[in-house]
Amino acid sequence: MDVIFGNLDLWGEAIGNTLLVFFIGGIIALVLGIIVGAMRVSPVPIARSVGTVYVNLVRNTPLTLVFFFFVFGYPQLGLPNLSNTVLGILAIGVYTATYVAEVLRAGINTVPVGQAEAARAIGLPFGQVMTSVILPQAFRSVVPPMMSVFIALLKNTTVAAGFSIAELAALRSTINDAPDRPGNPMEVLLWVAVVFVALVMVMSGLQRYLENRWRIAR
């Protein structure tokens, strides 16, 4: 246990940064994914085209290259300086939004067309039809795949370690480069795996809770 108690400061920082990237990146992915998912089923052709191009372009680009663009390409644009952590959050949020959009689009397609037609018949605009009629039902039907997307997001935070973001996957090299720190790389990796397994189990429990609650609500 020396690898834990002898490096509590590093573990605290690493877990904190991992959760920060996960939660803020997840919020960006959810908000942007809802917007893009709505664009993908929009009656406006230009909106559908923009949504399709975004999803196909970003989703088919490796996450590492997306990180490269944000971390190394962004500073070349002459925009205000941002930390690597902020840029990493933006990268993982923009990337994961494509998967959120596609899962949500699949959920939207499960809602009977007649409900949208009835909503439009009483004069509701497209935005209100989506927010009041379609999306609440779509979210209920996509809880398992949506949680799978966010579990993948959690595990994808390890890519940030290669871009000078001090999260869990970076602990091995940090401790290994400090000779006065207890623990060897294999011990660190095993404990990192344990932390990720625990976090995924928490998310799986949340998934079961949401499924049971919304199944009753139906």
Please compute the mean of the pLDDT values over residues 185-210 and round it to a whole number. 87
Asked if residue 100 lies in contact with residue 25, where contact means CB atoms within 8 angstroms, the answer is no
> What does pLDDT average to over the chain?
84
Please compute the mean of the pLDDT values over residues 141-159 and round it to a whole number. 89
Confidence of residue 218 (pLDDT cuts 50, 70, 90): very low
Confidence of residue 216 (pLDDT cuts 50, 70, 90): very low
Identify the pLDDT of residue 41: 84
CATH number for 72:
1.10.3720.10
Distance (Å, whole) CA 166 – CA 56: 30
Identify the pLDDT of residue 184: 74
Token pair for 163 = 């871009």
Confidence of residue 52 (pLDDT cuts 50, 70, 90): very high
Q: What is the DSSP letter of 202?
A: H
Residue 198 above 90 pLDDT? yes
Distance (Å, whole) CA 11 – CA 5: 9
Q: Return the higher-pLDDT residue of 76 and 179.
A: 76
Share of the chain above pLDDT 90, in %: 30
Question: pLDDT per residue over 87-128, tens digit each?
Answer: 899 999 999 999 999 999 888 888 877 877 787 888 778 778
Q: How far apart are the first and last CA of the chain?
A: 48
Q: How many CB atoms lie within 10 A of CB 153?
A: 23
Q: Which position has the token pair 């037609």?
A: 117
Domain count, the chain: 1
Give the domain extent around 116: 2-217
* Listed range (38-52, 135-149, 154-168) with the worst mean pLDDT: 154-168
Q: Return the higher-pLDDT residue of 218 and 56.
A: 56
Question: pLDDT per residue over 16-30, tens digit each?
Answer: 888 999 999 999 999
Question: pLDDT per residue over 1-17, tens digit each?
Answer: 667 766 677 778 888 88
Identify the pLDDT of residue 150: 93
